[in-house]
Structure 1
C-alpha cells in the first residue's frame, strides 16, 4: 500500500519526503513536480518567504533515469533561507557567542497556533522548537509527494483540480459543470486569478479584501473546493470505520494547517433539506453501468466511490500570526504580552487549495494501490483493467449482480 512521511523544520536545512508502495516503472521527473510546487507559492497575500525559496525538488532515492525502481522514493527540498538561520537552527550544539545572528527564541505563544500546546506537550521552553515543525512550510513536502501521487493516478485517467470559493466575506458559487468537465480550461482560467478564483469579479473583490486585512494587520481565511474526475466505482470500503474513503479524506484535509471544516457534495446544506432533495436517484445507464442525474453525495456512498466526481470543500481559518498581535502570556514570567510575530502570510487560501489537491491525490493513490496494486506499472494496469471488466459485468442488470 502507498504511504508517506515528511520531515524537516521551517528554517532548517531542508524538507524530506518519503513515499513507498509505488510500482516500478512509473515515470517521474523533477519537472513533473515543478508546476504544483510553483502553484503552492502563488496567491495574493503570500509573505516574503515565497520570494526566497525556489522549492526545487530533488530525487535522492527510488528513481533511476526517470522511472521508479519499486522501493521508497525520497525527495529533498532545500530551504534556501537556512543560510540566514544556520546559527539558530543548526543540528550541532552551538558554541556560546559564535552564533551568526539573534537566537530568535520564542517565549510568547500565538493564539490559534501550536506554540503553547506543543511547548507543554513536549516540555519545550523555547517555543521555536514547536513552531518550526508545526509551520505550514511542511506542506511543500506534501505537495511534492502529492505530485508523485498525481502521476500514479494518471495511469487510471484520474484528474484532480481545485478552485477557491471564498475569501473573507467574498463568496462565489463556483464554476459551471461545463467548465469542470474541461479540466485544462479550468486550470488555465484559475491561474489567471491572483487568488485562484476563475470568476474575475469575485477574484478582484477577494484581492481587495486581502489588501484591507493587510492594512489592518489582520489575516483572512476562506473556502476552496477540490474535485477528482474519472474515478471508478469501488475505491474505499464500508467494512471498517477506518477504511471509509470519506473519513480518510476528511482526516487528510483536517491535517492541513489551519483547516477547520470539511464537507462532501451538498455537505452541511444536506442537513437543511429533505431526503428527496439530497439523495441521488440510480438509473440503469446501459453499457456504462448505473447513472445518476445528480451528485449530492459528492461521489461517495457508504465510504465508497460511486463513479461520479469526488467533490470536497475545506474551510481554512485565518492564519494565526497577526501583525497586530493578540494578547498572550510570556511563558517565562506569566506576564501579559503581545503574541510573537513571525514572518507570515496575510492569506494563504490559494496555496491551501494546492495542498488540498495533493492530499486528495495521496489518499486516492492509497485507495487505488489497495484495490489494484502491483509490483510494476504493467501489473497495476492489468489489475485495473480486470477490475473494470468485473464492474461492468456486475452492472449488467439481471445477469451480473
Structure 2
C-alpha cells in the first residue's frame, strides 16, 4: 500500500480531539514525546489567547504502536480537552442536556458562522463554530508530527519562520529567501525557535505591534515561510492535475484557518519579470555518493517544476489574515433569529496567531511530503521503503 490517509474529529470544547493516520509503514520508531513536542510548539507564540493558559496539549496514542514501534495499522491519537469539565453539558451528546447553555445567534464576520449555519440548517451557530475553530488544527499537528518522524528517517526536515506581523516585516532577510540552501533555511529556523513570535529578526518590534493590538482590542495577521529540505527528485507527477506536488501543497496550506494566500518560490513576484530573470539555470557535478548530480544556483521555482520536486529545497510562503473575533471592536452583524442589527458574538480568541499558524503549516507540508514520498517509494515496512529509496538514489546518480 502506498500513500497515507488522514482523518480528524472533535469539537473545540468537546471531550477530546482525535486524529487517525493510515498508511505509514511498520517498525518506525515512534513515541508520544515525538508528538507532544510539536503540540507544545503549536501552543507557543506571543499574542495567543487565554485558552493557552488552560490547555497543555498531550497526545495519547490509542492504536497502531506497540513497544515504541509502529505496526503498519492505523495510528489513532487522542488529545483530551482539559476545559471539558466546564462544557460537559453545553457540548453533551445527550439530548437531555439540550438548551443547557444559550444558543449563539450572532454570526461573526470572517468566520464560518453564517454560511455554515445556513448550509447545515442550524439556528445555533455553536454547532458550526466548534468544528470550524482553529482548535481543530491540534490534531493536524499531532498527525503531522508522526509524518515528520517518518520523513526524518530519510533526513527530510520541515521547518518555518515568520516574515511579518501586521505591517512589521522581518529585516535582514535575503532578497530571495526561497533561494537559500538547506543550511541557510535551517539557520533561520533555529533563530526563529528562540523568538516569541518565531521570527529570525525584529522580534521586539513585532511584540510591540502585538501589544498595541491587544491594547486596542484588535487583531493582527502576518506572513511566514515554510520549507522542506533534502526532498528527493521526483515526488509528485506531471501526469494528472491532482498529482502535482505544488497543487497538493497549496491546497494543504490554504486549508489552514485564516490563511488567504500561498506562494511557491518566487510566487507573485515572477509575474513582473522576464523569463530570463525567473528560470533556475541547470548545472551538473558528478556526485560522490548516490544522489542527483544536477543542481541550481537559484531556487525561484521553490523546489518544484512541472508538479514534481526537483531536488532543491521546497519553499512556500503564506499570508494569514487577522483573526476576525474582536474583543473591543465587535463587528456589525445581524441576529440569526430576529434579523435585527447587532454586534457580532465574542468567543475567547487570540490577538495574533501567526507563529502558531507557521507550526501548523509545517505539519501540513510534512503530511503532503510523506504522502508523496510513500506514493513514490511505497512499502509495508520501513526497511522495505529504505531499500526502495536507496535504490532510486543509486539510479539517479547514474543519470
TM band (smaller chain): over 0.9
1:160 and 1:259, CA in 2 relative to 1: closer, same or farther beyond 3 A? same
Secondary structure (helix, strand or coil) at the match of 2:263 reads strand
Following superposition, the deviation at residue 389 of structure 1 comes to 1.4
Contact 2:90 2:97 in 1 (8 A): no
Following superposition, the deviation at residue 95 of structure 1 comes to 4.5
Separation in 2, partners of 1:34, 1:61: 16
* Residues paired across the two proteins, number: 388
Contact 2:23 2:72 in 1 (8 A): yes
Following superposition, the deviation at residue 68 of structure 1 comes to 0.5
Aligned equivalent of 1:265: 265
Separation in 2, partners of 1:304, 1:24: 27
Match of residue 309, structure 1, among 306, 313, 318: 313
Aligned-CA RMSD value: 1.5
Following superposition, the deviation at residue 348 of structure 1 comes to 0.1
1:241 and 1:95, CA in 2 relative to 1: closer, same or farther beyond 3 A? closer
Aligned equivalent of 1:130: 128
Aligned equivalent of 2:370: 365
Contact 2:160 2:227 in 1 (8 A): yes
The aligned runs of 1:221-300 (5 Å cut-off) are 221-287=221-287, 288-300=292-304
Separation in 1, partners of 2:140, 2:172: 26
Contact 1:159 1:183 in 2 (8 A): no
Contact 2:229 2:314 in 1 (8 A): yes
Separation in 1, partners of 2:182, 2:314: 12
TM, length-normalised to structure 1 = 0.94
Contact 1:180 1:186 in 2 (8 A): no
Aligned equivalent of 1:168: 166
Aligned equivalent of 1:398: none
TM-superposition CA deviations, 1:173-230 (whole Å, max 9, x none): 575677950676544421221100011xx21111111111111111110001011011
1:96 and 1:45, CA in 2 relative to 1: closer, same or farther beyond 3 A? closer
Structure 1, unmatched stretches of 5+, are: 395-401
1:105 and 1:174, CA in 2 relative to 1: closer, same or farther beyond 3 A? farther
Match of residue 183, structure 2, among 181, 184, 187: 181
Match of residue 70, structure 1, among 69, 72, 76: 72
Separation in 1, partners of 2:185, 2:166: 26
User: Do structure 1's residue 393 and structure 2's residue 391 form an aligned pair?
Assistant: no
TM-superposition CA deviations, 1:318-368 (whole Å, max 9, x none): 112111210000010110000000000000000000000000000000000
Structure 2, unmatched stretches of 5+, are: none
